[in-house]
A and B are shown apart, each in its own frame.
Chain A
Amino acid sequence: MSKYLMNKFLYTVDRDPELVERYRAEPRELVTWWAAERANSLLNCHSGEASTWLRFTDEEREALISQDHVRLFALGAHPFLTLTLFIAMFERDNTEPLEYQKAFGMRLAHFELPYPDIAT
């Protein structure tokens, strides 16, 4: 389990317009590149230093590659991060206001309280 790393992926992709587009268009390419090049970047730190140990599990990598927000919810990814990034990628396809946001919630309808733990 590396909820922190899933969150770090969602967080760093969401705040970069170019990465948002790459994730929408080429999720496997983007997730593979990010895991190799960005996963161990220390954020909020000067460049040239990095961590050495952060890795996705296979399940987490596949959930991200398949853009499976239901699976990410089940794995305990922070739902605000998932929602914000997925709205950025898919709201543009709406044919009516809030269509994507409502469908996003509907796909999670089988979850009951307590929801998966998001503590990192």
Chain B
Amino acid sequence: MARIVAVIASTHHPFYYRASTSTGADRPPFADEWTRKILAFRETLTRADPDVLVMVGSDHFHQLWLDNMPQFLVGKAPFYDANWYNEEREFGLPRMVLKGHEDLSAHLLRAGLDAGFDLAFSNELRIDHSITCPIITLRPEADLPIVPIYTNIFAPPLPQPSRFVKLGETIRKIVEDWPSDLRVAIIGTGHLSLELGGPRQFGPHGPDPEFDRRAVEWIATGDLDGCLREVTLDSLHAPGNATHGFMDFMLMMGVAGAGAKADHVDSLDLFHTMEAYFTWYPGGAPQ
């Protein structure tokens, strides 16, 4: 059976690419520290030596739209074009093409449907920065095949937080049952507190540093019970109007497992939002 060699949860900050590649007067003062943290985070994936990446993210009204909005969608295609005109325009993100792993996509879809998740699928999916940001930070060679999984954290009505956790637990079991000798890393990105298009956006810190502190603690210690006790669809409005993206972190806590302490924990307090990076090694840290 396949081996899950790393579980990784991260924020997906679209400004990292530009900040880390800019020079001279254009280089922001926080870029060097940010880059140092990303290089340490990248090493946690490199050490795990994966063959294929399951990538959990959320489409930002790029391909998925309100006329036909899936709650959970799995890509099944041999290739995925990536990044969109408005991401190039606003963030300077490069166009990319990533290979897909159709066998694992098919396995996830079949087993997911059989496990009670009526997953949507796409055979022609152009992915966005929720998945390309972790490629840029964690695997800039972009040389490994991926299976993209999109969640709806954006267009209400949304699934309940507990459903995200359950999907994460299910993804882990499905991948562990995949009849393959490949090494799989499961990577998901979301947000801590975040405000977009509202009065609390682009402040000197994230909109709710106290929520961020507690969120990092929940994730780092695998405190799913505590997290689920306090986080509801309603409560997530309070830390910032885009904070429902935290549910993708909860999904990744489900993948890592209740009580699983992260092997790598880091964060960076930036303007507008706090960055946070977590890696678990389910089979023990690589030697």
Contacts and interface: CB of A to CB of B under 8 A. Distances in A.
A98 to B, nearest CB: 6
Interface stretch (B37-45, B95-103, B237-245, B257-265): B237-245
A111 B198 contact: yes
A43 B65 contact: yes
B61 to A, nearest CB: 6
What class of interface size applies to chain B in its complex with A?
20 to 34
Nearest to B84: A15
B21 interface: no
B284 interface: no
Interface stretch (A28-36, A60-68, A83-91): A83-91
A113 B199 contact: no
A118 interface: yes
Contacts of B30: none
Contact of B198 (A7, A91, A108): A108
Interface string B46-79: 0000000000000011100111100000000000
Contacts of B195: 105
A83 B14 CA distance: 15
A9 interface: no
B86 interface: yes
A: interface residue count bin: 35 or more
A72 to B, nearest CB: 9
Interface in B180-230: 195-203
SS of B interface (majority): loop
B116 interface: no
A4 B66 contact: yes
Chain A interface helix/strand/loop/mixed: helix
B145 to A, nearest CB: 26
Interface stretch (B154-162, B247-255, B274-282): B154-162
Nearest to A112: B199
Contact of A87 (B66, B84, B85, B90): B90
A118 B156 CA distance: 7
B90 A120 contact: no
Contacts of B197: 69, 73, 78-83, 104
A44 interface: yes
Interface string A50-62: 0000000000000
B198 A105 contact: yes
Contact of B155 (A42, A78, A115): A78
Given A8-B66, A44-B67, A115-B237, A80 B242 contact: yes
A79 B198 contact: yes
Interface in B142-166: 154-157
Given A83-B196, A113-B237, A115-B241, A120 B202 contact: no
From A80, A88, A110, A115, residue with most partner B Cβ within 10 Å: A80
B159 to A, nearest CB: 14
Contacts of A84: 86, 90
A108 B201 CA distance: 10
17 contacts: A7-B66, A17-B89, A43-B67, A44-B68, A73-B198, A78-B155, A79-B196, A80-B60, A80-B196, A83-B196, A88-B89, A105-B195, A105-B198, A105-B200, A108-B198, A111-B198, A114-B237
Interface of B: 60-62, 65-68, 84-86, 89-90, 154-157, 195-203, 237-238, 241-242, 271
